[in-house]
Amino acid sequence: MKAPELSRKYATAIFGLVLEDWLTALKTVQDKLVGQSALLKTIELEQSFQNKQILLDKLIPPDSPVRVRNFLYILLKENHLSLLGEVLSDLQRISRSGPQVQVAYVTTAMALSIEEQEKFRQKLRAHYGDNLEFSFNVDTTIIGGAIVQIGDKRIDGSIATRLDAMGRAIGLG
C-alpha cells in the first residue's frame, strides 16, 4: 500500500474513533431528551444558566469527552438545545460520507416519485458535483415548483414565490 493511501486509512480510522465518542454521548443526551420531553421545556424555561447546566449534566454520560460537554453547554447557552437532533443527524451523515459532502434539500409541493428524485439527483450532481446527499421534503404551501437549498445557495422556483413577485410588480403586495 502506498504512503498516501496508508495515511488516508489511518486518518479515516482516527476520524471514526473520535467521532464515535461524540456520536455516542450526543445520542444518549438526545434519547433522554426525547424520552423526557417535559425536561427540555423545563430546561428552556429555566432562567438561571447554572440551573440549566445542572439539569443538563444529569443527561450527559459521565465518561463523555469534556469537549462534548462544552459543546452541549454552548447549545444550552444559545437556547439551541432543541437543535440537538438535527446536529446529531448531520454529524451521522458526515461520519458516513466525510465532511466534504453537502446536502441538497429539495422541497416540492407534492412527494416526488423515485424517477423524479433521480432526475433531481442527476441534474444537481452535474452542476454541483458528486459530493451531494439529498433530502426530499414536501411543503404544500409552495403550491408547485421546487426550492433547492445547497449550503448557502438557495434556488427558489416555487409558484408561491413567483405569484408573490408578480403581485408586488403590479402593486398588489
Domain ranges of the chain: 3-88, 100-169
Q: In this predicted model, what pLDDT tens digit does every residue of 85-140 receive, in sequence order?
A: 999 988 887 777 665 678 899 999 999 999 999 999 999 999 888 888 899 999 99
Q: Tell me how far apart the alpha carbons of residues 75 and 49 are, in angstroms, rounded to a whole number.
A: 12
What integer pLDDT is reported at residue 5 of this predicted model? 66
The predicted model gives 165-169 an average pLDDT of: 88
- pLDDT of amino acid 50: 94
> Going edge to edge, which strands form the sheet with 146-150?
132-138, 102-108, 146-150, 153-156
| pTM confidence score | 0.57
In the three-class reduction of DSSP (H, G, I as helix; E, B as strand; rest coil), residue 162 is classed as helix
Contact 148/105 with Cβ under 8 angstroms? yes
Distances (CA, A) of 46 to 42, 49, 64, 107, 148: 6, 8, 24, 36, 37
Contacts of residue 73, defined as CB under 8 A and 6 or more positions apart, other chains included, come to 53, 56
- The whole-angstrom separation of Cα 124 and Cα 128 is 6
Q: How many helices (H) and strands (E) does the chain have?
A: 7, 4
If you write DSSP's letter for every residue of 3-37 in order, what string do you get? HHHHHHHHHHHHHHHHHHHHHHHHHHHHHHHHHTH
Instruction: Out of 4-8, 105-109, 120-124, 159-163, pick the least confident.
Output: 4-8
User: Which CATH class, in words, describes the domain spanning 100-169?
Assistant: alpha beta
Number of Cβ atoms within 10 Å of the Cβ of 41? 11
Distance in angstroms (rounded) separating the CA atoms of residues 4 and 98:
17
Contact between 104 and 73 (Cβ < 8 Å): no
pLDDT digits (tens, 9 = 90+) for 45-68: 888 999 999 999 999 999 999 999
Residue 96 confidence (pLDDT): 72
